[in-house]
Structure 1
Amino acid sequence: MAYSTLPTIPLIVFAVIEPALFLLVIDLHITNCLCSRVWAWIVCNQDPFNYYATQVPNHTLNEQDHFPGQALALSLQMGNVLLLLAAMAVICCFSSSPSTAKWYLVAVAFADYGHIYGAARGVGPDVFWDPSQWNDMVWGGVAGSAILNLFRWLTVLGVFGPIGGNAALQTKSGKKHA
């Protein structure tokens, strides 16, 4: 049986939904109402140029002129990092150690700021401060990170219940799982 020290709602968000978001690239085409989801690491491996080019909205890049080996390597490595982060989220959130879960959330909360900063630098201030210009990659990188960041800090602060106070950690004998 899997144990976690996180309260139920944060456990669902950080150990189920967020890892799935690491693995999913959501491509919403509002004009034709097509919504497709594909595994991010597959996208990075099957179409690394598209993954690279869509980091900034309204790009006019073409693969032959704007996708050197360095960009290919970074795109493929980023896909691997997303897969690693999904695994780490599950491992740390299902840990029976309250300090592991707490410090994982704190570390990732600080990493969220770097993620938002990277997106801001990449798109520039005109696009960053005008959400009407954002594509799905910017929405996920900025708004998604900001929402998850707020949720992380609320969890660490105990708003959803104390980390380590999950009743699911009780064994049949009534003792806490270590």
Structure 2
Amino acid sequence: MARSLPIWPFVLIWAYISHLRNPITFYLDHVPGIAAAASPFTPQAEVMLYLLGNVYLLLAALAVICCWTRHRSIMQYYLLVVAFADLGHIYATCRVFGWEKFVEFAQWNDMAWGSIGGSAFLHVNRLATLLGLFGRLK
């Protein structure tokens, strides 16, 4: 039986492409409601953005490798590690947004929904996969 490729490598590749298409917009959209004038796009920010994009691409490659391995334990450890990383991603966003802005879902832009909502969705699905809710890992 052929294995299907999970969705998260494609999500990471899209994040990589998104930051290359328009780096300033990608940068500014991470915190909705902040005017561009209040958030200068410095050379340091640009370097960090490209480094982040590189991490997205690295994670996409690791997702493919770890999810196509013949070793069940590698896949389980990978899912556990990225599930914890999802929580770290959500926490970092919450910390910057502040609790009031974090829980005002109606004020979120596409980037916030993709970042927070996407991480929460992937977190739940990764844990469900680990728990065998979609069938046994082979």
More strand as a share of residues: 1
Question: Match of 1:47?
Answer: 22
The answer for unaligned runs of 5 or more in structure 1 is 5-11, 25-39, 165-178
* CA offsets 1:29-68 (integer angstroms, 9 cap, x no match): xxxxxxxxxxx334423432211111011221149x7111
**In the alignment, is residue 58 of structure 1 matched against residue 33 of structure 2?**
yes
Confirm or deny: 8 A CA contact 1:23 1:82 kept in the other structure.
yes
The 2-side partners of 1:101 and 1:43 are apart by: 27
Equivalent position to 2:132, from 158, 165, 170: 158
**TM-score normalised to the size of structure 1?**
0.70
Q: Give the Å deviation of 1:18.
A: 1.3
- The answer for the alignment partner of 2:41 in structure 1 is 67
One-letter amino acid of the counterpart of residue 91, structure 2: Y
Residue 21 of structure 1 corresponds to which residue in structure 2? Answer: 11
Q: Tell me the percent identity.
A: 41
Q: Which whole-Å CA distance do the structure 2 matches of 1:162 and 1:46 have between them?
A: 39
Cα separation, 1, equivalents of 2:57 and 2:34: 26
- 2:119 match: 145
Report if aligned partners of 1:3, 1:96 keep a CA contact under 8 Å in 2: no
Cα separation, 1, equivalents of 2:49 and 2:8: 20
Larger C-alpha radius of gyration, 1 or 2? 1
* Distance (whole Å) between structure 2 residues aligned to residue 73 and residue 155 of structure 1: 35
| Distance in 2 between residues matched to 1:45 and 1:147, nearest whole Å | 24
The aligned amino acid for 2:6 is: V
RMSD value, Cα: 2.0
Count of residues paired in the alignment: 138
The Cα offsets for residues 64-92 of structure 1, whole Å up to 9 and x where unpaired, read as: x7111211111111111111111111111
TM-score normalised per structure 2: 0.89
The runs of 5 or more residues in structure 2 that have no matched partner are: none
The CA distance in 1 between the partners of 2:23 and 2:135, in whole Å, is 41
Task: Give the conservation status (yes or no) of the 8 Å contact 1:18–1:86.
Answer: yes
1:129 aligned residue: 103
CA distance in 1, matches of 2:69, 2:113: 30
What secondary structure, in the 3-state scheme, does the structure 1 residue paired with 2:7 have? helix
Indicate the structure whose relative CO is greater, using CA pairs within 8 Å and at least 6 residues apart: 1
The match for 2:84 is 110
Please give the alpha-carbon distance, in whole angstroms, between the structure 2 residues aligned to 1:97 and 1:3: 16
Q: Give the aligned residue type for 1:19.
A: P
- Alignment check: 8 A CA contact 1:116 1:142 kept: yes
| Aligned counterparts of 1:156 and 1:43: Cα–Cα separation in 2 | 30
More helix by share: 2
